[in-house]
Amino acid sequence: MPTLLAAFSDVIHPWMTGIIFFGTFVGILVGALPGLSATLGVAILLPVTYYLSPAEGLLLLLGIYTGGIYGGSIAAILLNIPGCPASLMTTLDGYPLSRRGEGGRAIGIATVSSFIGGTVGVLALIFISTLLARAALSFGPAEYALLAFFGLSAIVVVVAKSVLKGFISACIGLMLATVGMDPLVSVERFSYGNFDLLGGINYIPVVIGLFGLCEVFTQALETRQAAAVRQVVRRVFPSGDDLKTILRNSFHPCWIGTLIGALPGAGGSIASIISYNRAMASDTNPERFGTGITEGLVASETANNAAVGGAMVPLLTLGIPGSSVTAVLLGAMLMHNITPGPMLYVNNPHMVYVIFIGMVMANVAMLVLGIAGAKIFPRVVNLPRTALLPVIALLCIIGAYAMSSSYTDVVIMILSGLFGFMLKQLGIPAGPLILGLILGPIAESNFRGAMELSDGSLSIFIRSPLSCGILALTMLLLASPLIRRLIAKPNRPAKAERR
């Protein structure tokens, strides 16, 4: 108890609180700019922490992490550009709300949902971190491969109106994921002598092109036909009805985000997809999802922010990064002579409590700054299209170049924008393509690793109860459209008889 009180006293000090708020503010800005993810923000400011105390440095980076994941929702809602991969599902219902002139309301809902998810994720980290770490250890190559395939299946069924078109999009993404060096035998694949492609196709430029530049092309053609929707922000904080909807639909995204976040390498992207799919599957009118409803926005934003606390579980308890951001945080901790793992709780409990309390404070800062800026953010889309679209295009170019300082990424972004525009005209969704590109390396490396462990036998995917459960859920998910049709058919004659 004295250690906890001492840590609490340190964190609530005005200087430390200011560091948390500053880090969260920077994280929101970085997350809101296309291509500048939370990982990049934490990595850029990592050297700065060398001149700070260990507690100050970690709290600054944790603030950026928390704010960066939430900040991705701002671009997703207002511009249809996921500020980070975890905000991909937020575009489905957030952007339609913005197109109806409810951008401020959507940001308010996303802010409160992010606060609830982030806080619950931290509380789970505090109270059940050891149990979650043990659950994460039970995942082997077979389970990770099946989890990646489940994530792909989920977005194919959820996003695509046609399962066939969604499957085509996912296959394109998986094909793009094979570019670069083979992950197991280091053989060059499909790079055609281009040195910049040896490391594979970076998904950040592809995301920016498919969602950002594609939207620029689309709106540029629609400018003469339709005027821009004015964003009238009368109130920022969600109304009573919206709060009831948020609270009623937050429970499942919280535990889904926390559990998936605790799996090393899974992250908020998979968490938001599974949460969104679960919300859609349990709704009586699933066709509403993707049209701009509160439930879809809550499912995505609550889960991806809950995954932040979950991702810290394997880092603190096992010394294993749960995401790309926590990999950078691991470097920061080692730089300050803090070794994460089971002995951290014994040797340095004060630092553990500082991290716990600091993450709670970062979520409070996110709520305050998000609500305070919710009236300002929607003004971006109130700008004339002739001024806004060139700015968005410029941000897309800057975001694509900033990640690796590579002109190849800019070319990939432009080609992705043109390709995304073509897919949009054909009615093929871009979401499965992105997830295929992100999850492809995870699925391939773990699938091949599992096959090596089993000497080429597919039986490894049904040996454990966990893998059998994931496989059954995937099959049920893929069969869900057919099941819905079979359930709906008997009802049609009954309605005809009543008439």
Summarize pLDDT for 185-211 with one digit per residue, the tens: 878 898 888 888 888 888 778 877 887
Better pLDDT: 200 or 82: 200
The pLDDT of 39-62, averaged and rounded, is: 82
Q: How many CB atoms lie within 10 A of CB 457?
A: 11
pLDDT, residue 36, reads 62
d(CA 477, CA 273): 13
Model confidence at 227, pLDDT cuts 50, 70, 90, reads very low
The answer to whether the beta carbons of residues 253 and 277 sit under 8 Å apart is: no
The pLDDT of 431-454, averaged and rounded, is: 85
Query: What residues does each domain of the chain span?
Result: 2-228+242-483
Model confidence at 62, pLDDT cuts 50, 70, 90, reads very high
The pLDDT of 89-104, averaged and rounded, is: 85
d(CA 242, CA 260): 26
The pLDDT of 428-437, averaged and rounded, is: 81
Q: How many CB atoms lie within 10 A of CB 46?
A: 18
| CB-based burial, 102-131: b 16+ in 10 Å, e otherwise | bbbbbbbbbbbbbbbbbbbbbbbbbeebee
Name the 3-class secondary structure at 236.
Answer: coil
Q: How many CB atoms lie within 10 A of CB 263?
A: 24
pLDDT, residue 59, reads 92
- Measured CA distances, 242 to 32, 93, 105, 113, 414 (Å): 24, 14, 9, 11, 38
Average pLDDT, the chain: 81
**For the chain, what percent of residues have pLDDT higher than 90?**
16
What Rg do the C-alpha atoms of the chain give, in angstroms?
A: 22
Least confident range from 241-245, 252-256, 400-404: namely 400-404
d(CA 115, CA 254): 11
**Report field, pTM of the whole predicted structure over 0.85:** no
pLDDT, residue 349, reads 83
Q: How many CB atoms lie within 10 A of CB 246?
A: 23
pLDDT, residue 496, reads 47
- Measured CA distances, 111 to 71, 389, 491 (Å): 9, 26, 40
Q: How many CB atoms lie within 10 A of CB 192?
A: 8
d(CA 97, CA 78): 9
pLDDT greater than 90 at residue 327? no
Q: Distance between alpha carbon 487 and the CA centroid of its chain, in Å?
A: 33
Taken in order 252, 255, 261, 263, the sign of the CA dihedral is: negative
Least confident range from 56-70, 226-240, 283-297, 470-484: namely 226-240
Name the 3-class secondary structure at 363.
Answer: helix
Residues forming a β-bridge with 180: 189
d(CA 196, CA 408): 7
The pLDDT of 140-152, averaged and rounded, is: 82
pLDDT, residue 35, reads 57
Tokens at 291, concatenated? 């049209």
Summarize pLDDT for 453-499 with one digit per residue, the tens: 898 888 899 888 888 988 888 888 778 777 767 776 655 554 444 44
pLDDT, residue 225, reads 47
Phi, psi angles (nearest 5°) of residue 485: -65, -40
Better pLDDT: 183 or 279: 279
pLDDT, residue 367, reads 93
pLDDT greater than 60 at residue 160? no
Taken in order 166, 484, 270, 360, the sign of the CA dihedral is: positive
Q: What is the DSSP letter of 455?
A: T
Model confidence at 132, pLDDT cuts 50, 70, 90, reads low
Element (H, E) at 189: strand 188-189
Better pLDDT: 394 or 35: 394
pLDDT, residue 1, reads 61
pLDDT, residue 226, reads 47
Least confident range from 131-145, 184-198, 278-292: namely 131-145
d(CA 178, CA 34): 25
pLDDT greater than 80 at residue 53? yes
Which amino acid, 210? L
pLDDT greater than 90 at residue 419? yes
Tokens at 258, concatenated? 């926390």
The pLDDT of 165-171, averaged and rounded, is: 87
pLDDT, residue 342, reads 66
Model confidence at 359, pLDDT cuts 50, 70, 90, reads very high
Model confidence at 222, pLDDT cuts 50, 70, 90, reads low
Q: Distance between alpha carbon 147 and the CA centroid of its chain, in Å?
A: 16
Tokens at 350, concatenated? 């004060």
